[in-house]
């Protein structure tokens, strides 16, 4: 009963993958949770888990203000990711102005702590291996540019006295995520081609480990005013990644390989043809950049200051993710 009388925690983006896992973990640990959602029907599973729904839009300051009234902490996870059919202004409205709305509401209601979700994408294609929180910013697309603008707004607010923490997650995956389904499916159906050398580095973070880190950002006294990269305990080459995915889905590792340049040229053509019609192109430049842009980071600051310690080894995390894909019909088991 004591927890029921505690002020609620507000989570934005709770209908998404990361925000949903976070909201459910907070509820499981006994925290009253409020979620700012645009569509109550789409958030019915959150309501069934005991999450209070605050209907509204992140872009509307009045909606955000109402959702933030009386809360103890805010976990600002909401963002628009890379999708077709949206003008650049939509990214600015959500990722930057929406963040400003959250920060202003947190200040107005004297929220004890605001935890802001940025992205390692603010560093772009890193040359320093491993990169860390002080690596220069180098955003490469509208998503990364607007996420950086939101992070800089949070930095400014926290430096001015608003209690808060920023975290930059690495490549998030796990049960419930569909962004990496295409890669799993290509490996499983043995239709995957490696473009380029496959020695590009990629740094994943399993969703359970990420949520552990987010909660530490929300609770650790040492975290106030700081920025943390939250990633898994190791980064891997793409060759290693697809081999481990192959093991998780029960097929031999892919061996087919092509030069990168034809793929890059095809992405430019696809974007040029599809953009005027608002069609999601089958190839994006940012998507094919997966094959050539390094993502490798140090988590030493989070380890030393927060006690952050990823618990799920990559091979086990990939097996759990593959099992969820099979159980939910996204992957079809091979006939015996």
**Residue 83: pLDDT above 50?**
yes
> Rounded to the nearest 10 degrees, how much is the dihedral formed by the CA atoms of 103, 105, 107, 113?
-70
**Mean pLDDT for all residues in the chain:** 93
**Residue 195: pLDDT above 90?**
yes
Residue 84 is predicted with a pLDDT of 55
Gap between the Cα atoms of 330 and 75, Å rounded: 30
On whether residue 250 sits in a domain, the answer given is: no
Q: To which residue do tokens 């006690």 refer?
A: 307
Give the residue numbers spanning the domain of 123: 3-173+205-232+298-311
Residue 140 is predicted with a pLDDT of 85
Gap between the Cα atoms of 258 and 196, Å rounded: 6
Overall average pLDDT of the 89-105 stretch: 96
Q: Six-digit token pair at 38?
A: 């645009």
DSSP string, 198-224: S--EE-EEEHHHHHHHHHHHHH-GGGT
The answer to whether the CB of 255 falls within 8 A of the CB of 191 is: no
pLDDT above 70 covers what percent of the chain? 97
Report the range of poorest mean pLDDT among 68-72, 73-77, 204-208, 284-288. 284-288
Residue 83: closest CA among 287, 331, 323: 287
Residue 205 bridge partners (DSSP): 172
On whether residue 328 sits in a domain, the answer given is: no
**Residue 314: pLDDT above 90?**
yes
pLDDT above 90 covers what percent of the chain? 80
Residue 85 is predicted with a pLDDT of 62
The answer to whether the CB of 189 falls within 8 A of the CB of 332 is: no
Gap between the Cα atoms of 200 and 222, Å rounded: 34
Residue 1 is predicted with a pLDDT of 39
Gap between the Cα atoms of 204 and 244, Å rounded: 13
Report the range of poorest mean pLDDT among 154-158, 238-242, 279-283. 279-283
Residue 2 is predicted with a pLDDT of 44
How many domains, the chain?
1
Residue 145 is predicted with a pLDDT of 95
On whether residue 60 sits in a domain, the answer given is: yes
Residue 112 belongs to domain with CATH number = 3.40.50.720
pTM: 0.93
Q: Six-digit token pair at 118?
A: 């940025």
Residue 287 is predicted with a pLDDT of 75
The answer to whether the CB of 124 falls within 8 A of the CB of 148 is: no
Residue 234 is predicted with a pLDDT of 96
**Residue 336: pLDDT above 70?**
no
Q: Six-digit token pair at 46?
A: 């959150």
On whether residue 330 sits in a domain, the answer given is: no
Overall average pLDDT of the 141-164 stretch: 96
On whether residue 322 sits in a domain, the answer given is: no
Gap between the Cα atoms of 119 and 171, Å rounded: 9
Q: To which residue do tokens 């990169």 refer?
A: 131
On whether residue 111 sits in a domain, the answer given is: yes
On whether residue 323 sits in a domain, the answer given is: no
Report the range of poorest mean pLDDT among 10-14, 55-59, 230-234, 278-282. 278-282
**Residue 43: pLDDT above 80?**
yes
Residue 186 is predicted with a pLDDT of 96
The answer to whether the CB of 169 falls within 8 A of the CB of 18 is: yes
Structure letter (DSSP) for residue 54: E
Residue 313 is predicted with a pLDDT of 97
Overall average pLDDT of the 193-202 stretch: 95
Q: What residues have CB less than 8 Å from 26, skipping those under 6 apart?
A: 9, 11, 33, 215
**Of 302 and 273, the one with more pLDDT:** 302
């Amino acid at each position: 009963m004591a927890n029921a009388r505690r002020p609620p925690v507000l989570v934005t983006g709770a209908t998404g993958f990361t925000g949903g896992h976070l909201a459910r973990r907070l509820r499981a640990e006994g925290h009253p949770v409020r979620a700012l959602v645009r569509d109550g029907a789409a958030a019915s599973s959150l309501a069934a888990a005991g999450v209070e729904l605050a209907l509204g839009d992140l872009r509307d300051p009045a909606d955000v203000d109402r959702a933030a009234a009386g809360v103890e902490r805010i976990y600002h996870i909401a963002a628009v990711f890379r999708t077709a059919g949206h003008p650049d202004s939509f990214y600015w409205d959500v990722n930057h102005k929406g963040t400003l709305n959250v920060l202003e509401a947190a200040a107005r209601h004297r929220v004890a702590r605001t935890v802001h979700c940025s992205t390692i994408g603010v560093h772009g294609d890193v040359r320093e291996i491993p990169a860390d929180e002080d690596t220069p910013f180098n955003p490469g697309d509208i998503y990364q540019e607007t996420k950086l603008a939101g992070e800089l707004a949070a930095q400014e607010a926290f430096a001015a006295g608003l209690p808060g923490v920023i975290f930059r997650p690495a490549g998030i995956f796990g049960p419930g995520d569909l962004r990496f389904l295409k890669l799993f499916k290509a490996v499983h159906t043995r239709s995957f081609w490696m473009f380029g050398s496959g020695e590009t580095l990629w740094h994943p973070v399993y969703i359970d480990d990420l949520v552990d880190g987010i909660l530490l950002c929300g609770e650790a006294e040492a975290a106030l005013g700081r920025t943390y990269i939250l990633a898994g305990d190791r980064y891997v080459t793409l060759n290693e990644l697809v081999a481990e995915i192959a093991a998780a889905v029960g097929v031999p590792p892919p061996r087919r390989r092509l030069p990168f340049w034809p793929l890059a040229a095809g992405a430019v053509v696809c974007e040029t043809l599809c953009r005027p019609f608002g069609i999601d192109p089958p190839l994006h430049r940012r998507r094919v950049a997966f094959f050539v842009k390094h993502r490798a980071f140090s988590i030493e600051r989070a380890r030393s200051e927060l006690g952050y310690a990823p618990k799920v080894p990559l091979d086990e995390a990939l097996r759990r993710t593959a099992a969820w894909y099979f159980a939910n019909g996204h992957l079809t088991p091979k006939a015996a």
